[in-house]
Structure 1
């Protein structure tokens, strides 16, 4: 650790740029020699009287310049002149939503659709659009195209249920769709129900715009109706967020009797429902969608991220009667525009041509092959998995804690998600579990290597890892 403290009195522009420039100058001058660790962001922010975010942006900028390397849990270090970041392909350094790419690490904290050759198909479709509709790429999107709505209707349809096209709102992915619904149907201060384990980015985003997350307990089958009833009676939430078709991270699917109970409770307490089917879209034989039971209050959300390609950023929400325009307006107001023309048109063409379903079948087959590898390597371990879903929900043996295991796996070159990533608010509940994603890594060989590393860390025990770092 260095006692280096930069002066920001010189230079022009934003503070973070001046700080990045000072770091670069001091590296060039030898004041920050190769291998030295930069001060922790929080400490430097305090010493300079700036925000942690300002320091974080500066550190990110000097990483982009190739001057330093950063690693989660260790810090930021100055690179030597011969330590330029490798331009050779690295094992899976892209993807994920919670951490910046970490060179040389196997990213088993992401569940984007695996590479099954869909890039070539997507590129061909996008090239045709750019060639034939170049003018549309130069302007704002004023209104969704009818084909975008039809594609949403086709993609969201489930056995026994098919939305009307005038109920469809296209968005830049499922997260954007869910946040548009929350912005449209609730007000600052309103309470929103989340399960005690869930896709917590939605809860955190909702809190950021002034909504108040409240928790409902879950068990091995999903949300517990009795606790939902209690929370509704005591806290009067406006909306509930669920993943009944396939729960992330537990892999539970809500049985039909619970779906019916939840719908009855929502009706009694006048609660809107958001049904996130991003993973459910991969599942065969799941119970009928929640929207089939409660079409008057359910917003049914889906996207292409897990089934086709996460980079397309294409999603849709099917809205209850007379609410689609509110959601459309909220989406436009929150994001500043309608969805990107090129990406949404590409997604719509993939869906309407049948290519998206072809890709989805290949994705499911690749996922099943990788899940079979996991079952072999982790035989005897306590974990939940499905052949159609690209992650495991793994119970850690005593005395592992999920945060400590994550750090230990990172030391061995593998990124996994600890359970706190799925807690929407602070809670005393511990499950001693990790989520292991295996779709974003390019090859099955690297997936197998990642699984073997995790197994080795599990069997090696906690004694070989420093819990005080």
Structure 2
């Protein structure tokens, strides 16, 4: 316990904001060292002559700023100083609860494109490239070929919007593209906005290189603009990562009105935007694009992983004007090299020949058939799904918690994702949901077995599983 006592004589605005600012200033000055425990809210409220609610709001604000971590029953602890990003402990990012690869377990915790016959086509194409370009395959890739940029232009284009080839940066998948943008456009200590549920691997990766993930609330339509505006005003983030056309894991699509509001807020606070279209590429009826509304600040990212083949490890990012070279350089520095010749050439030929689009259509048809199986076998359960998206977002009945249910079905041989996999920062909120992917399973019989296992565990109830705790 620290003997720290703040003074609130300086500063402007509400008391809780001044208290939060004082905490941040004292962390930066070293008066509150990493690991220090802040006074209990009741004690500090008494010493300052304010209400417990005022102190609680201040603690919540510094938690949002990524400066402290609150642990139920233990207290609130300092994470580090934003003025010394190289020495500060990384912000506490929640997640990483996946099972290791286990033989005999049915993988319903992944959403790679299903095999719809593309294996043979890709194998033949790779063989031809290896035969005709053996020397190129043995060397480093120093600059992307024009065809690779053109393939990115074709694959990313949609709903009346098309990027220019010079704005395209080829990468080793969407994750690599997003991390290249983060490395290029932010510095250690900068805050990055994530939705309250999101592809949290990006948040964990960003924290690993010294960036600070902060959270914005969502509802059934996606990111809430008012909370985004509040976070921007309070925490001054440099960049926002979101999935407006098809959200993972909730399947929400941002309405046009919200898209316009988010763009206006990003412009007002000078925030860069990353638009992840990995799942949006599977949707034909996607709403408007952030990049078409705000091309001067939006990085538009796509890949082949969900639509063609995850193992190709190929993606592209369309960059705002005058930023592509920065992202290209960052991609080389972060990854150690550009994507390989073999993968880039294979992806480009698939896209430019039209074969990638044909595979995408077949993938969508297979996904629709498997989603229909879910609606039949899991009838009566509450979940969100779409015929064109290879996962469902299932609400668990009380008193199931997602972690306990995940362990229960794993004990029956099926792997699913609990909700904590999608939380960018630690939070006490429980959604009582799991994500069930059904594209990576090898056959429809496997999918049937997985859905049936989930149904049986739900029908059996929590009895017999509470020992997992």
Distance 2:380 2:466 in 1: 27
Superposed CA offset, 1:152-171 (max 9, x none): 00000011100000000000
> 1:287–1:278: structure 2 CA closer, same or farther, 3 Å change rule?
same
Matched, 1:146 2:120: no
1:192 aligns with 192
Distance 2:216 2:225 in 1: 9
2:167 aligns with 167
2:236 aligns with 236
Contact 2:275-2:291 within 8 A present in 1 as well: yes
Q: Secondary structure at the match of 1:462?
A: coil
Distance 1:307 1:245 in 2: 15
1:84 aligns with none
Distance 2:255 2:160 in 1: 16
Q: Secondary structure at the match of 1:369?
A: helix
Contact 1:404-1:467 within 8 A present in 2 as well: no
Matched, 1:386 2:370: no
Cα displacement (A) at 1:98: 4.4
Cα displacement (A) at 1:445: 0.8
Contact 1:193-1:215 within 8 A present in 2 as well: yes
2:405 aligns with 405
Distance 1:159 1:247 in 2: 18
1:209 aligns with 209
Contact 2:97-2:421 within 8 A present in 1 as well: no
Distance 2:468 2:313 in 1: 40
Matched, 1:134 2:120: no
Matched, 1:283 2:283: yes
1:13 aligns with none
Distance 1:152 1:391 in 2: 26
Q: Secondary structure at the match of 1:365?
A: helix
> 1:97–1:128: structure 2 CA closer, same or farther, 3 Å change rule?
farther
Distance 1:309 1:184 in 2: 27
1:299 aligns with 299
Distance 1:193 1:429 in 2: 18
Superposed CA offset, 1:208-265 (max 9, x none): 0000000000000000000000000000000000000100000000010000000000
Cα displacement (A) at 1:99: 4.0
1:253 aligns with 253
Q: Secondary structure at the match of 1:275?
A: strand
Q: Cα RMSD over matched residues?
A: 1.1
Q: Secondary structure at the match of 2:308?
A: coil
Distance 2:350 2:318 in 1: 19
Superposed CA offset, 1:409-434 (max 9, x none): 00101000000000011011110000
1:67 aligns with none
Q: Which runs of 5+ in 1 are unaligned?
A: 1-95
Q: Stretches of 4+ moved more than 6 A in 1?
A: none
TM-score by length of 2: 0.79
Superposed CA offset, 1:302-348 (max 9, x none): 00000000000000000000000000000000001000110111001
Contact 2:193-2:216 within 8 A present in 1 as well: yes
Q: Which runs of 5+ in 2 are unaligned?
A: 1-95
Cα displacement (A) at 1:284: 1.4
Superposed CA offset, 1:49-92 (max 9, x none): xxxxxxxxxxxxxxxxxxxxxxxxxxxxxxxxxxxxxxxxxxxx
1:157 aligns with 157
Cα displacement (A) at 1:97: 11
2:347 aligns with 347
Contact 2:404-2:468 within 8 A present in 1 as well: no
Contact 2:97-2:420 within 8 A present in 1 as well: no
Contact 2:173-2:313 within 8 A present in 1 as well: yes
Superposed CA offset, 1:378-414 (max 9, x none): 1111100000000000000011000000000001010
